[in-house]
Homo-oligomer: A and B are copies of this chain.
Amino acid sequence: MAEDSDKPKQASLVLIGMGPNMLTSMTEEAIVAAKSADFRYYEAYTAMWPIEELERLESRVGPIKKVMRPEVEQPEEILNLAKENTVAVLVVGDPLQATTHVDLQLQAEENGIDCRIIHGISITNIVTGAIGLSNYKFGRQTTLTYPYSNWIATSPLEILAMNRIMGHHTLALLDLDPTGAGTGKQQPMRPKDAVISIGLMIEKLSSGIEDINDNDSLSKLKKQAINELVATKFADWNVVLCSDMGAEDQSIIYTNLADLADFPGGNMNCLVFPASTSDVEEKALLRWSREEG
């Protein structure tokens, strides 16, 4: 990647937020910084951009090298380069939403490398308002994962159960790595994958419910929340399927778990489970009602 020889050389690492999925959703500051970097990396395992938009970005700012989890978690190459050059690491969404990137920032600082952050629009930021639910009524967010070799994490459902009993909405991001290793081909979860994972979680949670201790108020509430959740009719859970949010062809569908698997979804999907809704929220949600796929 060519260097602008008029520019005074200032070695640094720049973590750049790319926003959710297109060039025009990047900030001016982000585009300028990406363009002026000597080397550009694109971190492609926590989230992905559509290929056409990536090409559009490259034609605007210069070539970008795609890296996966190992290059970011063992960042010797990146950090060594950043001692002598301006190195941009482009991250989908905001560059500090994932612990990995905070860790990269800390490692740069420990190595005496100047590290600059340029924020971007994150999916967790826009999805709440875009569907019309109040941001402040969301509880803790979670990520639904694929089952890895017959094992499934149940914590996402525990978070959902606790949010539900407290009347908070839940944003559930969807995994995009069926192997869990972060090295191979990304495969963003489709709605039907999410339904399968949720089914497995319910099964596992239901069978282990008696083992949850209830020695204190928090455990008691948690046990009750899980009991109530697994007692509901799974198929009837209301859910909002959000696909390719922020893109021209974003899609929002308000449905239930029984029908969710019939919708194909988009490139990147996430789910919102609404709890109790206000009048404005209810009216806002009904705009997205769909009975079937």
Contact = CB atoms under 8 A, between A and B. Distances in A.
A31 B26 CA distance: 11
B125 A136 contact: no
- A interface, by DSSP: helix, strand, loop or mixed? helix
A284 B102 contact: yes
A111 interface: no
A25 to B, nearest CB: 5
Tallying the copies of this chain within the complex gives 2
In which size bucket is the chain A interface? 35 or more
Interface in A9-40: 17, 19, 23-29, 31-32
A103 interface: yes
A25 B27 contact: yes
Interface in A108-150: 109, 117, 119-122, 124-126, 128-130, 132, 134-143
A27 B26 contact: yes
Given A126-B119, A220-B220, A134 B25 contact: no
B165 A218 contact: yes
12 contacts: A23-B28, A27-B28, A96-B129, A119-B125, A119-B130, A124-B125, A135-B141, A140-B140, A217-B217, A217-B220, A217-B224, A221-B221
